[in-house]
Amino acid sequence: MEGRIIKGIGGFYTVLDAAGCQHTLRAQAKLRRQRMTPLVGDRVRFTIEEDNNWITGILPRKNCLVRPPVANVDKLVITVSAGTPKADLLLTDRLLFGCRHAAVSPILVVNKADEGEEEARRIAQCYRDASDGLFVVSALEEQGLEELREALSGTVHAFGGQSGVGKSTLINRLYGLTLTTGALSDRIERGKNTTRHIELICLPDGGMVLDTPGFNVLESGLIEPLQLRTLYPEFLPVEGGCRFETCVHNKEPGCMVKRAVVAGEIDRGRYERYCILYEEMLQRWRERYD
Ligand SMILES: Nc1nc2c(ncn2[C@@H]2O[C@H](COP(=O)(O)OP(=O)(O)OP(=O)(O)O)[C@@H](O)[C@H]2O)c(=O)[nH]1
Ligand SMILES: [Mg+2]
Ligand SMILES: [Zn+2]
């Protein structure tokens, strides 16, 4: 039989089959030996026999992300807050290029616009050309949700980003669900995420949405440093004009990207964080066999 993993907790996976039935299964030892870890979103083969229910194979993935850990999604809704917690732009950049690298379409959502109108505008301006869609919303005041719902309609999409930015609240407001959300004060007391596991939910329009626990640090997957520049859509219109074909837009003379930054065509913050991330990739690339 074949189905799709919609949830995974402690080595048990919930698989939804074509008929809409759910099965709770474990991965066969064979898969573990092959280091094939099933991910939520995976299409899998499985067998159901008496006392012998196993996931026996993972079908080829269209894509997969490490954080949040999910396979076969069309879009990642990278959520940041214009209020509390303050948006971590370096983390946002990592999620953005991580999406591009994994062939997942990134959508940026600036939530809590009600808490910081000015800040929401600032973030939106900085990321104007960085994602495949940009929405300034307030889940609390139900502002901007119609446009976002429209953009996500019929797709398999995951929400990702820092803890407490309002991912679960947004999903509830968009789709009339009742996922658990948490105030910041409870969160500090518990010192934990409100959302604990990742779960794919079927929507009436044929799409699926995945809520995920937020995180505050993100280790990017290893990317060849030279490749990083290709994951910044803002660079595309100008980079063919750099003096050197191998220009990484860092310290080289005759760099059109740097010129575009000076001219205000490329956001300076995005560029400066690119340089930080490039140095980091270079460092890790050199140390990769240590
Ligand atoms: N002011 C304001 N508060 C919001 C908004 N959206 C969510 N919140 C609040 O922010 C807090 C966190 O919301 P959650 O939806 O639990 O956040 P989350 O991103 O799912 O957090 P984790 O599950 O821990 O990753 C809750 O108290 C929400 O009521 C908004 O648009 N404006
Ligand atoms: Mg949540
Ligand atoms: Zn350059």
Domain ranges of the chain: 2-58, 64-211, 225-286
Which H helix or E strand runs over 78? strand 75-81
Whole-number mean pLDDT of the chain? 93
pLDDT tens digits, one per residue of 226-266:
999 999 999 999 989 999 999 999 999 999 999 999 999 99
- Residue 55 and residue 87: Cα distance in Å, rounded? 39
Q: Do domains 64-211 and 225-286 have the same CATH topology?
A: no
What is the band of 4 on the pLDDT scale with cuts at 50, 70, 90?
Answer: very high
- Per-residue confidence (pLDDT) for residue 191, from 0 to 100: 52
What is the band of 187 on the pLDDT scale with cuts at 50, 70, 90?
Answer: low
CATH code of the domain made up of 225-286 = 1.10.40.50
What backbone phi and psi angles, to 5 degrees, belong to 73? Answer: -105, 150
CATH code of the domain made up of 2-58 = 2.40.50.140
- Residue 70 and residue 98: Cα distance in Å, rounded? 13
The reply to whether ligand 1 has any atom less than 6 angstroms from the CB of 213 is yes
pLDDT tens digits, one per residue of 111-166:
999 999 999 999 999 999 999 999 999 999 999 999 999 999 999 999 999 999 99
Cα–Cα–Cα angle for 243, 103, 249, nearest 5°? 20
270 Cα to the center of ligand 3, angstroms: 15
- Residue 170 and residue 182: Cα distance in Å, rounded? 12
Ligand 1 atom closest to the CA of 111, numbered from 1: 31
Model confidence, pTM? 0.94
Count how many Cα atoms sit within 13 Å of the Cα of residue 242 in the half-sphere of its side chain.
Answer: 21
- Residue 10 and residue 209: Cα distance in Å, rounded? 21
Are 87 and 122 within 8 A, CB to CB? Answer: no
The reply to whether ligand 1 has any atom less than 6 angstroms from the CB of 164 is yes
The reply to whether ligand 1 has any atom less than 6 angstroms from the CB of 111 is yes
> Residues in the chain, how many?
290
The reply to whether ligand 1 has any atom less than 6 angstroms from the CB of 166 is yes
Tell me, what DSSP letter sits at residue 103? T
- Could you tell me the CATH superfamily of domain 64-211? P-loop containing nucleotide triphosphate hydrolases (3.40.50.300)
Q: What is the percentage of the chain residues whose pLDDT exceeds 70?
A: 97
Are 121 and 115 within 8 A, CB to CB? Answer: no
